[in-house]
A = this chain, B = another copy of it.
Amino acid sequence: MTYCCGILVRDGLVMIADTRTNAGLDNVSTFRKLHIFEEPGRHVMALATAGNLSISQAVISTLQEGLEDPETGEKRTLSEVSSMFRGAELVGAAIRHVHKLYGEGLKESDIRFDVSFLFGGQVNGGRMRLFMMYAAGNFIECTSDTPFLQIGEHKYGKPVLDRSITYDIDLYDAMKSGLVSMDSTMRSNIGVGMPIDVLVARRDAAQSELVHRIEPGEPYFHDLRERWSAALRAAHMSIPRPPYGRGK
């Protein structure tokens, strides 16, 4: 399982991904799911992945090695795209390329071609954007009405984001919300686990501001979990009991 969220606010982009993968409950490992493509001054892009690990890794490697253009024969890599939209199109093309290679064989093994991506960043001084990409290579874009997108095990952590994320919040408050959302998810699904990778990219900085891995036992994250639990308990206590029956 996987949980990744991307948050795009006025000040910039936050992307957060867990690192737990499993092929059955008896085969649990740690793999990086947040991949960063950066050339300071020109572009910063990040791809967070969910779904079948062999598929997502094949897509990432294709984007690094280059996807051959069927007309010109040229190899196109993510580092050369002229805009985020062109980048998303290239990611989509890489997904379809990998589908062409393995889709049929997976089907024969009764394995679904299951993969999804969050693709965020800024290229060449263009607009900072965040996309969610599906297995067919199609995608939707995050807008200021709901300034976050999630892939993987998204339900447990959504109520927190629904209530705390608006387009105008501070970038590190957005990260804090994302971490609380990750904590809620990890608590409810053991298929999502530490360490956690985070990226912060400030709008128009043309480079990442923070690339960090939160390891198990890290004091800030431990404190965040404790405080959030305590605050929820207090919030709960502060609500009066229902006035029905003998509750009043």
Residues in chain A within 8 A of chain B (CB atoms): 155-156, 158-160, 162-164, 170-173, 175-177, 179-180, 184, 187-188, 198, 200, 202, 209-210, 212, 220, 223-224, 227-229, 231-236, 238-247
Contact = CB atoms under 8 A, between A and B. Distances in A.
A228 B233 contact: no
Nearest to A154: B155
A234 B232 contact: no
B245 A200 contact: yes
B232 A177 contact: no
Contacts of A236: 164, 173, 176-177, 180, 231
25 contacts: A155-B188, A156-B156, A156-B158, A158-B188, A159-B159, A159-B160, A163-B233, A171-B247, A172-B241, A172-B242, A172-B246, A172-B247, A176-B236, A176-B239, A179-B242, A200-B244, A200-B245, A200-B247, A210-B244, A210-B245, A212-B244, A220-B242, A228-B235, A231-B234, A231-B238
A163 B224 contact: no
Contacts of A223: 240
Contacts of A234: 231, 235
Contact of A242 (B158, B176, B228, B233): B176
